[in-house]
Amino acid sequence: MTIPQFDFIEELELVAIFPSLTYKIDFQKKRMSGMTDQLAAIKQAVFIILHTERFKHMIYSDHFGIEIENLIGTNPIYVKSELARRITEALLQDDRITSIEDFQFVFNDHNVEVTFTVVTEFGSFQEATEVN
């Protein structure tokens, strides 16, 4: 019996698709309540990212969260352009999110409310956040 000889080695690319299954957080009761997956899990992740100041909490990597605090008190035109960029940068760290679209800004006295569409591999949804 002979060992087969090959002139080339085929490279195989293995792609693993991991589920987005995670613990469901009940923010009002401040406890975990079961599990969540797909679009609901991404909505929860977006909420957490948008409410976590980047570089402030050692438990998270430098790629998690959003930089908001240094926008407070700056020119509204600057805030508008920077906030769109920072939201996009923060949320695209999650590989389930494919794009952030349709930014809309509403400026009131000392705050700005921004709404936008989060496009994911499981569908799209509207999200909003506010900077005081």
The structure's pTM equals 0.79
How many Å apart are CA 126 and CA 90, to the nearest integer? Answer: 16
Please tell me the CATH code under which domain 22-131 is placed.
Answer: 3.10.450.40
In tens, the pLDDT along 90-106 reads 999 999 999 999 999 99
- Greatest mean pLDDT among 15-19, 69-73, 80-84 lies in 80-84
In tens, the pLDDT along 8-20 reads 556 656 555 556 7
Q: Where are the domains of the chain?
A: 22-131
Kindly report the number of other CB atoms within 10 A of residue 111's CB atom.
12
